[in-house]
Amino acid sequence: MCGIVGGVAERNISNILIEGLKRLEYRGYDSAGLALINGGHVLRERRVGKVANLEQAVIEAELTGSLGIAHTRWATHGKPTENNAHPHISGNVAVVHNGIIENFQELKDDLEALGYVFTSQTDTEVVAHLVNDALKSTPSLLEAVKQVVPQLKGAYALGIIHTDHPDELITVREGSPLVIGVGIGENFISSDQLALLPITNRFIYLEEGDIARLTRETIEVFVDGQLVNRPVKELDATVSNASKGEYKHYMLKEIYEQPEAIQQTISQALNGNALREDFLAQAEQDFASIQQVQIIACGTSYHAGMIAKYWFEQLIDVPCQVEIASEYRYRTPVIVNNTLYICISQSGETADTLAALRDTQKRAAAKALNICTMAICNVATSSMVRETHHSLLTLAGPEIGVASTKAFTTQLAALMLLILKIGQVKQSIAEKTVTEIIAELWHTPKVILDTLQHNPAILHLSELFVEKNHCLFLGRGTQFPIALEGALKLKEISYIHAEGYAAGELKHGPLALVDNEMPVVILAPKDDMLDKLKSNMEEVQARGGELFVFADEHSGIKTKERQHVVHIPSISAVLAPIVYSIPVQLLSYHVAVLRGTDVDQPRNLAKSVTVE
Ligand code: F6R
């Protein structure tokens, strides 16, 4: 998704802006640009493709300056071309923008009537012209931006500079993330703090509706024209630990980090084989009153929610619904009293999930309903964590690969901890069961480590996939969402068309697809459904399908003609979805590498989907 970096300093910041953009590359983008103010001029370079192209152009043009803005663009309005890349310029104003200006066409018509000429197809360019126009009535860049902001509809973040204001960077946050990096005698902005970590670990997290004016020495934040105080927060040094190390891709590194990430996530909540007394203690009263749960999430996080639904209902007898945020937010769902709303999100900034959360809160307040909201999230400073009553962090560390891996399995671990806690508060789970599940949770990192030992066998399976165009993933019970997740992983990074199905649905349609060209991946832990799943495998084999089976070592399923089996170490049925995530991640990873795709930044995708 689009990324913003900007700064005002005494030194040349062109290399800092480029480095910042590089650190945002993982989010996905298709073009990049940079503008600096120097000697009363706006100096700008923009390039289609990688930030390295822009870097080369900046070096060749010898662009320098101590005030500047830079951007990686992920096309929404207009193709990925140089003209559409940011920054956009009008007169002496340069603008970078994340998000969408929904009423841009009306604004564009008005501006064209005033004689402004548009050089791009973007919605952003209206902002540059509007600020330029507002400067006719005020010499202050800040005042001009304050006049423009109420005219803009949509969710956006902006960085704005002007040649007559060589020590001034104006920024706006309205529905799209923006942080200020606080330096000594220099200050920076970014849509993601990760971009600024080499320069500072002190941040101001702007809130929705904030307009800020940065100079080298000062930071002023305004809400509705009034100066407000936003605290400076110091970031834990471990957050900055994001490099590929010995691994070829971030995704592979992140797959291998899962034992530790899960250990970290569960350690915050556990004391031996019991939940810590202080774990979610502040939420106990809310948990006591809830009668059902509504989970809202997107993509992989939605799959985690689907598994939690099985757990909520089977383990603690609490009804649970789960829905994709982009549907939930628009279908006017009934808000029910005494419901716990859980948003699951790696980034905590996903536009659809945030919008669904905000809408739910607004509608519950309007009817004076008693609801409680909670974020399960990997980013402590995210909007979702800040805007919910309670939060439970997945301590996975930064996830850079676009395909979610360790964020997913830590979400599952966190959800299980939450379910045990709610079950205890509501006394709907036996203490013995809690103790047993906690013992299994502690054991999970080791089982994942042992599963990772099967990497060579999974690599071998992936070699048989390279030429395939389609694939089915089948599972039953909590393995059904893992089948969906396996299919999502395979399609997003290898571009092979894949579908996940509940194996019991096979006869109701997908069986028609099965022939000797159709690989079928089976998830077969040792659980109550194993015999039924074996029958489904027979159905596939009888139609000439080739089976790729991840099966419990004690399942009795063996390799034979057109049936390739990788044995997975035994794990309790309840936690099996965490462990069976690993082989499907590895399979997708290896297939993608063999097909030569951009594994960490697959085409058309972004890590943090901050627009609709
Ligand atoms: C797929 C993937 C996406 C995200 C989805 C939600 O591998 O990563 O499907 O899960 O975009 O993102 P978050 O969890 O940040 O809300």
Distance from residue 300's CA to the centre of ligand 1 (Å):
5
Confirm or reject: Cβ of 286 under 6 Å from ligand 1: no
Give backbone dihedrals phi and psi of 112, rounded to 5 degrees, phi first. Answer: -65, -35
Instruction: Give the distance (Å) from ligand 1 centre to CA of residue 384.
Output: 14
Token duo for residue 118: 């548009």
| pLDDT score, position 177 | 83
The pLDDT assigned to 240 comes to 46
* φ, ψ (nearest 5 deg) of residue 187: -140, 155
Provide the token pair at 559: 């390799």
Hey, what are 331's tokens?
């279908």
Tell me the C-alpha distance between 420 and 399, whole Å.
Answer: 26
Residue 473 to residue 460: CA distance in whole angstroms:
18
Q: How remote is the CA of residue 290 from the centroid of ligand 1, in Å?
A: 27
Task: Give the amino acid at 32.
Answer: A
Q: Return phi, psi of residue 205, to 5°.
A: -95, 110
Candidate of 74, 301, 378 to mutate for ligand 1, largest count of ligand atoms within 8 Å of Cβ = 301
| Model pLDDT, residue 78 | 83
Q: Which run of H or of E encompasses 491?
A: helix 479-494
Q: Is the CB of 403 under 6 A from ligand 1?
A: yes
pLDDT in the model for residue 95: 98
Give the chain's domains with CATH numbers: 2-240 (3.60.20.10), 250-451 (3.40.50.10490), 453-612 (3.40.50.10490)
Alpha helices by DSSP H, listed for 51-187, are 51-61, 104-113, 125-134, 141-148
User: Do residues 440 and 412 make contact, with C-beta atoms less than 8 angstroms apart?
Assistant: no
pLDDT tens across 323-360, in order? 999 999 999 999 999 999 999 999 999 999 999 999 99
Burial class (CB in 10 A: 0-12, 13-18, 19+), 553: middle
Nearest-atom number in ligand 1 for the CA of 300 is: 10
Catalytic residue list? 2, 607
CA geometry: angle 183, 3, 143, nearest 5 deg: 65
CA-wise closest residue to 1 among 24, 19, 20: 24
- Write out the H or E segment, with its range, that includes residue 204: strand 202-205
pLDDT at residue 137, rounded to an integer: 96
Report CA(1)–ligand 1 centroid distance (Å).
12
Q: Which one-letter DSSP state was computed for residue 293?
A: E
391 lines ligand 1 (CB under 6 A): no
pLDDT at 237: 52
Reduced to 3 states (helix: H, G, I; strand: E, B; else coil), residue 507 is helix
Between CA 532 and CA 528 the distance in angstroms is 8
Distance CA 461, CA 486 (A): 14
For the Cβ of 6 lying below 6 angstroms from any atom of ligand 1, the answer is no
Ligand 1 close to Cβ of residue 171 (< 6 A)? no
| pLDDT tens digits, 222-253 | 999 899 999 999 876 555 456 676 789 999 99
350 lines ligand 1 (CB under 6 A): yes
Q: Candidates 609, 610, 611, 612: which one to mutate for ligand 1, based on the most atoms within 8 Å of Cβ? A: 609
The best mutation among 1, 255, 298, 400 to test binding of ligand 1, ranked by most ligand atoms within 8 Å of the C-beta, falls on 298
Does the CB atom of residue 585 touch ligand 1 within 6 A?
no
Query: Which residue(s) pair with 328 in the sheet?
Result: none
Over residues 397-434, the pLDDT tens digits come to 889 899 999 999 999 999 999 999 999 999 999 999 99
> With contact defined as beta carbons under 8 Å apart, do 190 and 5 qualify?
yes
In whole angstroms, how far apart are CA 354 and each of 80, 387, 414? 27, 9, 20
Which region, left, alpha or beta, applies to residue 579 given φ > 0 means left and ψ of -120 to 50 means alpha? alpha
Give yes or no for a contact between 301 and 295, defined as CB atoms under 8 angstroms apart: no
How many Å lie between the centroid of ligand 1 and the Cα of residue 508?
Answer: 29
The residues of the chain scoring below 70 in pLDDT are: 1, 236-243, 245
